[in-house]
Amino acid sequence: MSERTFTIIKPDSVENGNAGRIISHLEAAGFTILAARMTHLSQNQAQAFYAVHNERPFYNDLVAYMTSGPVWVMALERDQAVPTLRKEMGATNPADADQGTIRKLYGESIERNAIHGSDSSENAAIEIAFFFPAADLA
């Protein structure tokens, strides 16, 4: 059954000129792009987006990195979208990611790891609504 997920092509990917290759990878993996735009996260947006990690030692660095440059935010759709995106992304640490995954191909470090993907359908809906008005997804 068709499912939606949400991705951020992170600042390192845009900075390194990999955004187009990552979008191509997602299209080749069967995702339909429902909505997409380039944006530069504010401090408040990055803090809110990663609020679940606010007690973690890497939180402040994560917020600084996510606000360091422009990103692409995208709503994606396909069957099994959430698990399929996580599989195409690879492990959080690119060093541990499977061959051919986006993080293995384009990630630099456990922090600068190229891409975000929602971890559940519920969070995907929350994250899509965080960035896109419902009318953009019609």
Active site residues per annotation: 116
Considering only residues 80 to 109 of the shown chain, the ones binding ligand ATP according to CB under 6 A are 92
Considering only residues 25 to 44 of the shown chain, the ones binding ligand ATP according to CB under 6 A are none
Shortest gap between Cβ of 42 and ligand ATP (angstroms)?
17
Residue 8 neighbours by CB distance under 10 Å = 21
Q: Which C-beta is closer to ligand ATP: that of 58 or that of 130?
A: 58
Distance CA 73, CA 129 (A): 11
Pick one of 40, 58, 95, 130: the residue that binds ligand ATP (CB under 6 A). 58
Q: Would you count residue 125 as binding ligand ATP (CB under 6 A)? A: no
* DSSP secondary structure of 108-129: -SSSS-SEEE-SSHHHHHHHHH
